[in-house]
Structure 1
Amino acid sequence: MTKQQIIDTFDPSQPGLADATVFGLPFSSEQSEIIIIPVPWEVTVSYGSGASEGPETVLDASFQVDLSHQDFPELWKLGIFMDEAPEHWKINSNAYKALAQPIIEALEGGEDLNNHPSLLEDLATINKVCRDLHSEVKEKVLYWMKQGKKVALLGGDHSTPLGYYEALATQHDNFGILHLDAHMDLRIAYEGFTYSHASIMYNALQIPQLSKIVQVGIRDFCEQEVGVVKQQNGRVLVHTDSDLKKETFEGITWAAQCDAIIASLPQKVCISFDIDGMFQWYAPSTGTPVPGGFSFEQATYLFNKLAESGKEIIGFDLVEVAPGETDWDGNVGARMLFHMCGVLAKNNGMNVGNKIVFDRK
């Protein structure tokens, strides 16, 4: 069937098709405007684990998401397709995560890795395997971009989007990252791992085309990261959770704060959303939770304002969703993923329909 025939015969009010792609949508990759690349990876995890299960957790929960989104009621008609991760990504994640644990334990025990040649050799191997992953992600992203698709990434831990950013850098000579997170992720080779989840934004800064990172919700950082921010001379702007909350306590609205955040971004923007940026109850199983944060609605409000601001959203990643005892983490992740797809589509001039407005009189 043609895409239009599928749209005409598909009932979006029924439960999502179990044998379909993400959100239960009936479209093929060729028929879909947005491609989600899952990256089930968490080799350098140093605290809570489970992020490598994030893509599958979000996919499973996505079938319960109602397709009639208030802001983007026609989004489903565009088609959203989740690509398949190469089998060796998950296999390597499990294998090299196990290889990394003795290194982490030695460092946490105060050991000098120079006294452990075998651990140093393993560390070099892990760094190479992680670099290989980023190169493969970059290649996969560029494949879909060359098909005319809008591409987003679903992690995995927060190390996973580096190849994605590198792919964007081949298409855009000047862009910024709107980074929502509890952490700065500006550590330099955290625990010796060049491509640590805690080093993603430091590694992103090595991309010349990346002109600015604007961080929102930060509430945990180290002295080294503060030094990186200062050395960048304005290339990294930090809105800590404490500062944002203080302003709201003193009468500055979230709307005004969003306007200031958006105004500080360059014309082209990629969104990087670590799920631990939100209040912990939204993602109780995420790997490195920190007290404080923002609400689901605060995040979507910021994204909606960005979509309508005249800036160009060139992509997004959603990372650090991990499964828990209930389906809650996946449920929140799936709904945030759907909203972010809507923001990306609307900002890029796709027809997502008119917002549904209810008479409240």
Structure 2
Amino acid sequence: MDQPNWNGVEFEAPDFLESELADRSPENCRFHVIPAPFEASVSYGGGTANGPAAILEASQQLEVWDGLSAPAVLGIHTTPAVNAGGTAQSVVSRIEAAVSWVAERGAVPVLLGGEHTVTLGALRALAARHERFGIVQFDAHADLRQSYEGSKLSHACVMRRALDLTCTDGLHPEIFQIGVRALSPEEVALRRERGIAHLDARALALHGIPRPLLPPDFPEKVYLTFDVDGLDPSVIRATGTPVPGGVGWHDALTLAEMALKGRTVLGFDVVELAPAEGDHASDFAAAQLVYALMGMVQRG
């Protein structure tokens, strides 16, 4: 089961949960972890290029039982890291190829960023393969800018680029945003214009978790993208812009499970971890988040 060489660069890190898994061969694994250490457009604190390796290192300390199930029994394979050199467009294309390769084999792609721009590669791969699907986005920011600092492929524009995609049925992906608490006037206007559904951090703090969470007509197929700055900095501080007032750990897991339960999960990502020396807690929380999301996919 040869994998295309989208690597081409040195990337030293163990496989996800390598310490606990004897068989990590791709043909026997439901989850395929794709490290994408790309960083080009971060606008405050840097370091997201080191996020994938930090998550993989921290995963060696995870317990196989996640509190509700043991998703590792479905198998976890870690692919070669995507070559993050060159232009943003070339890196996004390599990520698209990597995610396509995984999806073609019926496995679940699990993308580790890197800055949030990496998500676009996964979404392009899925839009080329699927009819209407939804994107559930955890984030402190809406990421709906048309361009930022001269680039349409900035991390601040990734959801705007998602709205430009066309699925195989001619429709655009739909977005549901969770935890947002920092927007530009442009993004507020676009949300209203495009009817982008959301549960912002302030509404969550004032009114709690609504039930049901997603709109009744939200697509059955979903992709989940989790920018770790969607969490409160008390959970993960090691990120470029740790905006106060974010989603707490247990609320985040509840919200993610509600969004995914009963749906077909096309894949997910965890992005924007920027490891900081001495802050092992943030790295471990990000690894725990990845594994918790695997558990939600396992339990359906």
1:158-197 aligned at under 5 Å gives the runs: 158-197=116-155
Residue among 45, 53, 57 paired with 2:54: 57
1:277 is the counterpart of 2:230: yes
Matched residue, 2:163 = 205
Structure 2 runs not aligned, ≥5 long: 1-12
Structure 1 runs not aligned, ≥5 long: 1-18, 93-128, 249-253, 348-361
Distance in 1 separating the partners of 2:174 and 2:76: 29
Shift of 1:312: 2.0
Shift of 1:258: 4.8
Shift of 1:263: 3.7
Say whether the 8 Å CA contact 1:32–1:80 is kept in structure 2.
yes
Say whether the 8 Å CA contact 1:270–1:313 is kept in structure 2.
yes
1:227 is the counterpart of 2:214: no
Letter in 1 for 2:186: Q
1:265 is the counterpart of 2:218: yes
SS of residue paired to 1:190: coil
1:240 is the counterpart of 2:200: yes
SS of residue paired to 2:27: coil
The alpha-carbon distance between structure 1 residues 50 and 281, as it changes in their structure 2 partners (threshold 3 A), is: same
Shift of 1:224: 0.9
Distance in 2 separating the partners of 1:50 and 1:264: 38
Shift of 1:20: 5.9
After TM superposition, where is structure 1 displaced by more than 4 Å over at least 4 residues in a row? none
Richer in helix (by share)? 1
Distance in 2 separating the partners of 1:134 and 1:40: 11
- Normalising by the residue count of structure 2, what TM-score does the alignment of the two structures yield? 0.88
Say whether the 8 Å CA contact 2:213–2:259 is kept in structure 1.
no
Query: Residue deviations 1:246-268, cap 9 Å, x none?
Result: 213xxxxx2xx152336463211
Query: Residue deviations 1:70-116, cap 9 Å, x none?
Result: 2123x212111121114x41x44xxxxxxxxxxxxxxxxxxxxxxxx
Aligned length: 280
Distance in 2 separating the partners of 1:64 and 1:225: 39
Matched residue, 1:292 = 245
C-alpha RMSD over aligned residues: 1.7
Distance in 1 separating the partners of 2:115 and 2:132: 25
Task: Give the share of equivalent positions with the same residue, in percent.
Answer: 32
Say whether the 8 Å CA contact 2:232–2:248 is kept in structure 1.
yes
Distance in 2 separating the partners of 1:258 and 1:154: 30
Say whether the 8 Å CA contact 2:14–2:57 is kept in structure 1.
no
Once structures 1 and 2 are overlaid, which stretch shifts more, 180-189 or 239-248? 239-248
Residue among 250, 263, 277 paired with 1:311: 263
The alpha-carbon distance between structure 1 residues 216 and 264, as it changes in their structure 2 partners (threshold 3 A), is: farther
Shift of 1:345: 2.7
Shift of 1:207: 0.7
Say whether the 8 Å CA contact 2:62–2:288 is kept in structure 1.
yes
Distance in 2 separating the partners of 1:20 and 1:185: 31
Letter in 1 for 2:29: S
Residue among 127, 131, 153 paired with 2:89: 131
SS of residue paired to 1:282: coil
Distance in 1 separating the partners of 2:90 and 2:288: 31
Letter in 1 for 2:199: H
Shift of 1:306: 3.1
